[in-house]
Amino acid sequence: ARLECRKRTLPKRQWFGVDPLTLPLMKDPDNGLNVPLVLLILKDLLTMLDGPKSEGIFRKAGLESEMTTIKERINDGLAFSCDNQHTIATLMKRWYKALPCRMLANVPRDDESDEFALRYPSYLTSFDTRLMSWLLDLLLDVVEHQEDNLMDPKNCAIVWGPGMIGSAQETALTGSHMDMGAMAGLTDTRFG
């Protein structure tokens, strides 16, 4: 059903960089979490393209021109197609990075303890906890295939950390060491 969503007209709207609570939600049958429809569409494409098994998934960048075109088509409510799993994976990272308030912006950056994974939801709204749980579920699938994709928990933390912590105004280099530390504490505990 979700795959059909990319073939039919979606409402014309901004899907990236907006409050996710304003977006149409849909239940992910893989984990039962209601998340923005755009994430499910991108996840379906990523899965169809064997993204979780692809070497360097979420680490290798997608094609910039292709990402621009797909993002415009999504925002315009038009059907789109893509056969590059790295383009879809990069769009997913950019969706999270473009959130008005980054997911882990209020989480202490220096907490690398194992207990952090148990405490991180206390820093998030219930909806942000749901978005983070959905992402971690996806990353668990990626880590299950680390023999093929070379993406272990640490590599996932390195590629996702900078886009999850800090503000949308911060550059990728600002606080990146601490970003990876906090994200590594979370991923080591959740994935390890």
CA triplet 45, 183, 91: central angle to 5 degrees?
25
Exposed/middle/buried for residue 108 (C-beta within 10 Å: 0-12, 13-18, 19+): middle
Q: How confident is the model at residue 178 (pLDDT cuts 50, 70, 90)?
A: very low
> Residue 33 pLDDT more than 80?
yes
Q: What is the DSSP string of 41-100?
A: HHHHHHHHTTGGGSTTTTTS---HHHHHHHHHHHHTT-------HHHHHHHHHHHHHTSS
Better-predicted residue by pLDDT, 184 or 79: 79
pLDDT per residue as tens digits for the range 50-107? 999 999 999 999 999 999 999 999 999 998 889 999 999 999 999 999 999 888 888 8
Residue in the block written with tokens 């197609």: 81
> 64 lies in which domain range?
2-191
CATH code of the domain containing 7: 1.10.555.10
- For residue 158, the one-letter residue type is I
Number of domains in the chain: 1
